[in-house]
Chains A and B, each alone.
Chain A
Amino acid sequence: MVDVMHVLGFGEGGWGAALSVAAGVTLTLSLLGFLLGALFGALAAAGRLSPSRISAWLAGAYGTVFRGVPDLLTIYLLYYGGSVALTAVGRIFGGAGFVGLPAFATGVIAIAVISGAYQAEVYRGAYLAVDRGQFDACKALGLTRFQSLRLVIVPQLMRHALPGLGNVWQLVLKDSALISVIGLIELMRQTQIGAGSTREPFVFYIAAATLYFLIAGATGLVFRLGEARAWRGVAFA
């Protein structure tokens, strides 16, 4: 039987340090993807809520496609499609070879595109949950459109959005493991490498599962604290 403490430890021949770094990559990748996805989601939500038929249709189609198609397929689209586009641009400037897309950037964009489709629904629901009287009050106070959004609507909208965003975040964290298929050395890929070179897949995949589980638990706590903060000062029945 293998010495688990040694294989996963931080000493000579131990994979502890490599796995920790990889867990950091997973966390960074997920966080950046989630934040960029918030931008996509907010834009799509605004599109769906807008009176313009075209933007409502476009935003709806975005949500339907990226929530209905397997995430893996979206990742392949962005990775290969992005490389082809980049190579074409390279040719214009006289480059001859194939230009590969950096895996980390592709991963962030893929997670953003996918999670944005889910976040849009969360923001849309939360926007509709804000009391209509608040909008009238903004107008009565003479706030501009941007001021009322920033000072009145968004802070209240976040109260309703946070539980849904917490769910999307958990989805993002688990989706980030799929980015390993395009060669980014995040937690999943580093685990595969370790499992391959030590021939101890069971130990390594259990370790990866534990790390994902811990990251999900710890970050879930952050969302719960954020929710408590968003609702401070509001009395409950």
Chain B
Amino acid sequence: MSDLGFFVSIIPTLLSGLPLTLQLAGTSLGLGFVLALALALAQHGNHRAAVWPIRTFVVVFRGTPLLVQIFLIYYGLGQFRPSLQAVGLWWLIREPYWCAILALTLNTAAYGSEILRGAIRGVPRGLVEAASASGMSRLLTLRLVVLPLAFRQAIPSYGNEIILMVKGTSLASIITLMEVTGIAQGLISQTYRAVEVFVAAGAIYLTLNFTIIRALNALELWLTPYRARP
């Protein structure tokens, strides 16, 4: 059955895909968070002209498979090469790497904006009133009162979204990017030792996800010391 030698030999190969997995996840989560925050704040004002397009974007990206989104961007937009070249965006659609980043970013922004919207709405109104009573401007209230509380509130839900995104980067392998899952698939189809490769690649993802969960728990505890269990 499974010998240790084979196990040890595939781990470095699989780990060579880890930087790409981390890059895809990190970049799209970072950009996605900025976009999500912008979308959540834009809906905060309840302006119809802002809310309607954003709601549509969110519903569409949450209601369709990530794989369809990736293919729509990579293959679908590739069809418009002349127009994209004319506006100087062809480099973005030509590279599978940037297509994956774009799809993952838009996807996580749609989910993230809902999380942040809920968290911002969860900030007690009295705190905002107190801030304005003490003469703080709207921007200052947002920066010093609303956002810090909302971010803290959002950590558990956003943590789930981060894990989903780490798992989501595996789809990039379908458009030729050799991250951990792509390499694993290659190894499986070469060696036909699916169980061993799955265990090794799975261990990499589980370690990564555990680390993220532990880090977020620590962050939450640091931000809410009074909630710590005695």
Using a CB–CB cutoff of 8 Å, the interface residues on chain A facing chain B are: 64-65, 68-74, 76-77, 79-81, 83-84, 170, 173-178, 180-181, 188, 191-192, 195, 199-202, 204-206, 208-209, 212-213, 216-217
Contacts and interface: CB of A to CB of B under 8 A. Distances in A.
B204 to A, nearest CB: 9
B120 interface: no
Given A81-B194, A81-B198, A72 B76 contact: no
Contacts of B198: 69, 73-74, 76-77, 81
A201 B71 contact: yes
Interface in B146-176: 163, 167-171, 173-174
Given A76-B184, A76-B185, A77-B194, A70 B68 contact: no
Contact of B192 (A70, A71, A84, A173): A84
Given A81-B195, A84-B194, A201-B79, A72 B65 contact: no
Given A68-B209, A206-B72, A177 B79 contact: no
A212 B63 contact: yes
B54 interface: no
A188 B206 contact: no
A217 B63 contact: yes
A178 B68 CA distance: 10
Contacts of A81: 194-195, 198
Interface of B: 60, 63-69, 71-72, 75-80, 163, 167-171, 173-174, 181, 184-185, 188-189, 192-195, 198, 201-202, 205-206, 209-210
Contacts of B69: 209
Contacts of A205: 68, 71-72, 75-76
Given A76-B188, A202-B72, 6 more contacts: A71-B167, A201-B78, A202-B76, A205-B76, A212-B65, A217-B63
Contacts of A181: 174
A175 B170 CA distance: 13
Of residues A178, A200, A209, which shows the largest number of chain B Cβ atoms within 10 Å of its Cβ?
Answer: A209
Contacts of B64: 174, 209, 212-213, 216
B174 A70 contact: no
A195 B75 contact: yes
A80 to B, nearest CB: 4
A43 to B, nearest CB: 21
Nearest to B73: A205
A225 B206 CA distance: 37
A76 B202 CA distance: 12
A73 B71 contact: no
Contact of B163 (A68, A177, A200): A68
24 contacts: A68-B167, A69-B167, A69-B198, A70-B169, A70-B170, A70-B205, A72-B171, A72-B185, A74-B198, A76-B194, A77-B194, A77-B195, A81-B194, A174-B64, A178-B65, A199-B79, A200-B79, A201-B72, A205-B72, A206-B76, A208-B68, A209-B60, A212-B68, A213-B64
Nearest to B171: A72
Of residues A70, A71, A170, A206, which shows the largest number of chain B Cβ atoms within 10 Å of its Cβ?
Answer: A70
Nearest to A70: B170
Nearest to B80: A202
A199 B75 CA distance: 10
Given A76-B185, A212-B65, A69 B79 contact: no
Contacts of B78: 201
A174 B110 CA distance: 15
A69 B206 contact: yes
A77 B188 CA distance: 8
Contacts of B80: 202
Given A73-B184, A76-B194, A180 B206 contact: no
Of residues B65, B76, B168, B202, which shows the largest number of chain A Cβ atoms within 10 Å of its Cβ?
Answer: B65
A127 to B, nearest CB: 22
Contacts of A199: 79
B194 A201 contact: no
Lowest 5 A-B CB distances belong to which pairs? A70-B170, A81-B194, A177-B65, A201-B75, A80-B194
Nearest to B206: A68
A164 to B, nearest CB: 13
B163 A73 contact: no
A188 B63 contact: no
